[in-house]
Amino acid sequence: METRFKIINNENFSYSHVKLSLEAGEGIVLSKGEELISLLPERSEREVLLAFTVDKRYRGDQKLPIRAVLRAGNVILASEDLGLTWEKSGIPSWLLPVLGGVIVFVFLAVLSRRISVVPRVPTKTPSETRIDPLYSTLSDTTRNRYLPVRKIGEGGMGIVYEAKDTVLGRRVALKVMKDEISLRRRERERFLREARIAAQLRHPNIIMIHDVIEDGSGRICLVFEYLDGEDLESIIQREGAIKPDRAVYYVEGILDALSYAHGRGVIHRDMKSSNVMVLRDGGIKVLDFGIARVETDTLYTISGVTSGTPAYMAPEQHEGKEVDARTDIYGVGVIFYEMLTGDLPFRGPDLFIQKQRMGFKKPTELNSSLPSWVDEIVTWCLQPDPSNRPQSAEELMREIKKWGG
């Protein structure tokens, strides 16, 4: 039985294209295979394609690097075409074992550096090969200065890595723009705005930005200080409710940062527990000013545009109305409730209605050991009408210090 092979390159490459070809019984040759795989937007798609190329599943113990040529099933993965001229012509099935042997020989020869079939690429560090394809697509200049240590996390706009700055000899957090963001002008601008806003804010409780890189690959990378700690959401998920005195300490640190930011006309707009880092030394850092609004900025104050995380959003955000410092206060109220009870005040599909009706259980109903004043603070912060909330971070701070400070 013959297998018809297609050469797939950057011009006609997509996951659905590859999948349909395989389902139709056609073989495929991926020219510049590593580069193509890195273009897949979803990690699951990359893993499926890799499964085709390495005997149905990738075995980490084999440590098979994706280099010159690998073949399995009906997929051939190549760093470049290597003179393959199959195009759409059929290959007799009896020739496949011979071809496979030749490919293995070429592959081993490349590894041993006895012959040079593909252009020499910069040697990757062991940690780099374990992260994901996105980092490997950055320019040599960026990768040589910032050596990857591990992947820290991933958001809608970028992936964050711990890296070592080889010039200054310090640990940093490198936020790399995703492919789909780099292609959209508005989202690209939002990514840059995070850098510009963070650069304005110099406060011990706000993450500091060191540099912005417009990489030769077309992506933007933000270089932040490296934070040795854990985000508040993870702590709550692991430990459950936090003791009141500790929760008060964290809230005071958050409010101190917001007071500073608000004083400079910056509204965070996405206050949530995952955007608060608790450092090993006990300090607090507020993160991710990616959707923050500067009061003089008109681009992101369009009526009807909703930004934020639904469970933490103030009612005015759900409605796409104007936001101000009191919007961030609402988010702090949700975080305080979450710390005291180990749960969110609002859950389910009808969040906006719940918030309008203030349909949440008071913290003392869920934890009878809590002092009664925490109910008053939470209820004050979660008022649906901004005029009935604390009017500033300073006002809320004074009231918390009065009762729990």
For the annotated catalytic residues, the residue numbers are 270
C-alpha triplet 278, 279, 284: angle, nearest 5°: 55
Cα 100 off chain centre by:
39
**What's the distance, Cα to Cα, between the start and end of the chain in Å?**
79
Per residue, what are the HEC states of 125-154?
CHHHHCCCHHHHCCCHHHHHHEEEEEEEEE
For residues 9 and 138, what is the distance between their CA atoms, to the nearest angstrom?
A: 20
- The structure tokens listed for 209 are 């930005």
Give yes or no for a contact between 161 and 153, defined as CB atoms under 8 angstroms apart. Answer: no
Tell me the sheet residues that pair with 299: none
C-alpha triplet 217, 220, 226: angle, nearest 5°: 120
- The structure tokens listed for 293 are 């609004």
Helix (H, G, I), strand (E, B) or coil at 14: coil
Give yes or no for a contact between 252 and 397, defined as CB atoms under 8 angstroms apart. Answer: yes
Give yes or no for a contact between 70 and 54, defined as CB atoms under 8 angstroms apart. Answer: yes
Tell me the sheet residues that pair with 172: 163, 225
Tell the burial category of 375 from Cβ atoms under 10 Å away from its Cβ (0-12, 13-18, 19+). Answer: middle
**Closest listed residue to residue 382, CA positions, set 345, 340, 338, 343:** 345
Return the beta strands (E) in 284-323 as ranges: 284-286, 293-294
Helix (H, G, I), strand (E, B) or coil at 342: coil
CA distances to 69, 172, 181 from 196, rounded to whole Å, are 43, 18, 17
What radius of gyration do the chain's Cα atoms show? Answer: 26
